[in-house]
Amino acid sequence: MAITYKKCLKCGSKNSVSIVYGMPSYEAYQEAEAGKFKLGGCVLSLGDPEYACKDCDHEWNREQAIDYAYSKIKVIKASVGGYFGGYYEVTIDLRNFETTWNFHEGELEETSKKSIRRSTAESFLEALKILNLLNWKARYIETGVCDGTQWSVEILTDGRSIKKYGDNKYPFEWELFCRLIRKIINRKFE
């Protein structure tokens, strides 16, 4: 799932238009009148809205849409491993400030739970934003490799679950993501 910038942050409507800045041409003025987009001021300043909802008049910009999308994340579940070397599974509950870490290898199973501070959960979310997690593709698959390493990330929001999965192939940010998980859990995850 990619972030849907054009969805209204207030009412959820997708009936929105872009806000266009600068001196409009006559044609642009007519199109704006027809409701195809909305005219902003002459100059776009930092923090100005870029989208306007036609249903509730709310206005917002891309940065606010990104913040909003990440603020909806309740739980992150991630796993990595393979047939050889075992599997690691983690759950990071950002609403209850709890983490769970599991390691499985054959008959062996280890578990550890710990609570985290609110500030840790907040900086974790900020880091996910930098790692562009919500814009990762749903599948990363390298064909022709037997066994090897599989990974998954599940992002739970209110009423939604977004799943990402990989088989011997990774998003560009994967190593940094693993490092972030190790830092918050304080256990192995690789």
Q: Which is nearer to Zn ion, 58 or 129 (CB)?
A: 58
x-or-dash pattern for Zn ion, window 68-97, by CB under 5 A? ------------------------------
Residues of span 11-30 touching Zn ion by CB under 5 A: 11, 13
Sign of CA dihedral 133, 139, 142, 148: positive
Residue in 5, 7, 8, 166 binding Zn ion, rule: CB under 5 A: 8
Q: Which is nearer to Zn ion, 67 or 93 (CB)?
A: 67
Q: Which long-range contacts (CB under 8 A, 24 or more apart) does 185-190 make?
A: 185/90, 185/92, 185/99, 185/101, 185/112, 185/114, 186/114, 187/88, 187/101, 187/103, 187/112, 188/88, 188/103, 189/78, 189/80, 189/88, 189/90, 189/101, 190/80, 190/88
- Distance separating the N- and C-terminal Cα atoms of the chain: 24
Q: Interface with Zn ion includes 6 (CB under 5 A)? A: no
x-or-dash pattern for Zn ion, window 44-73, by CB under 5 A? ---------x-xx-x---------------
Number of residues that bind Zn ion (CB under 5 A): 8
Q: Which is nearer to Zn ion, 59 or 76 (CB)?
A: 59
Residue 91 corresponds to which tokens in the numbers above? Answer: 């759950």
By CB under 5 A, name the binding residues for Zn ion: 8, 10-11, 13, 53, 55-56, 58
